[in-house]
Amino acid sequence: MTAGPVERAPERYPVTHDVSRHEAGEGEPRTAPNDAWPEVLRAEVVAGLRSRPKTLPPKLFYDERGARLFDQICGLDEYYLTRTELAIMRAHAGEMAALAGAGCVLVEYGSGEALKVRLLLDALREPAAYVPIDISAEQLARVAGAIAAEYPGLAVRPLAADYTGPLTLPELPADVRSSRRVAYFPGSTIGNFHPPEALAFLRGVARVCGDEGVLLLGADLRKDPAVLHAAYNDAAGVTAAFNRNVLARLNRELGATFDADLFRHYAYYNPVAGRVEMHLVSLEEHTVRVAGERVSLDRGESIWTESSYKYSPCELETLASRAGFEVVRAWTDADALFCVLYLEVSAGRRG
């Protein structure tokens, strides 16, 4: 029996980030001011809960409590990502800094507690400026203050923003405006984007970095599904609390009426798509109110809250080159769990 050519239907990705705004190019609008947050939040949440499957963007995890829960996740035995990436940074920050050279402007996408970046700041020769970007404004203000105090002479210019949208960097001191820009995107947060969004995002980073620009990218690698499953289903239930916290946040900030006990944290690795999917599955048919709108959930229906894509080294190289970067170097750990890439904006690229 001969099978005909098997054509897999191309996957349709649910909308989790509006990357079209990121592709805006010249004259792009400034980052939405913080007081526009409730309206931006409302529109994205309502659109996500109206779509099929229902989705919520993962950036919603990071309110104050969510940022704390995430830091707790980073210390879990099962969550190998953070300690592995830190070990790679400890071992190779010197080489990374040597490649980048003296006097660069470091732009960090999603600075969080800014732990890893300290290893870079310590290794870099006379870094000129540090621009931490984060959506969690309280944490950003605190962390930026601490870094400024620890690194006298470093111009720290925090940007409280959603970097999945268009970005305009803060005004930099005149003497560093033309310095080499080194973007830092650690933590495998790139994995939260569906592949087409990841590509659009990286193209945006290439444009922000400009000629001679560099991107240091931390990415989680494909591996044994059992290891991935454990990392997103920790025994202490911190990841479940992190996932459910988004409902509590919507209740607080949008007057939603979610009962978190009616939802099961459900995370599993899909080895074909190469991603961990995190869901909140409704255990009963019920209706909630969100931002003045009624949202009905069937029994067993999911709200898809996060994807964490895992890449092979080869897939990372393809992604980088399609986005206009060349892989100069890549470092991994002895078990090939995680990878940090040093990418340079390709010569002759005109973004």
Q: Which residues bind ligand AVJ (CB under 6 A)?
A: 73, 81, 187-189, 191-192, 232, 239, 306, 308
Both structure tokens of 192: 């939260």
Closer residue to ligand AVJ (CB): 81 or 217 = 81
Closest residue by beta carbon to ligand AVJ: 308
CB of 349 to ligand AVJ, least distance (A): 27
Residue 282 pairs in a beta bridge with 263
Angle, CA 337 vertex, CA 331 and CA 338 arms, to 5°: 45
Number of helices (H), then strands (E), in the chain? 9, 14
Provide the strand spans (E) within 181-319: 181-185, 214-220, 263-270, 275-282, 286-290, 293-297, 302-309
CB of 294 to ligand AVJ, least distance (A): 29
Closer residue to ligand AVJ (CB): 15 or 291 = 15
Going by their DSSP bridges, the two strands 263-270 and 275-282 should be labelled as antiparallel
CB of 186 to ligand AVJ, least distance (A): 9
Q: How far is Cα 332 from Cα 41, in angstroms, rounded to an integer? A: 37
Closer residue to ligand AVJ (CB): 16 or 239 = 239
CB of 307 to ligand AVJ, least distance (A): 8
Closer residue to ligand AVJ (CB): 78 or 212 = 78
CB of 81 to ligand AVJ, least distance (A): 6
Closer residue to ligand AVJ (CB): 179 or 188 = 188
CB neighbours of residue 50 within 10 Å: 12
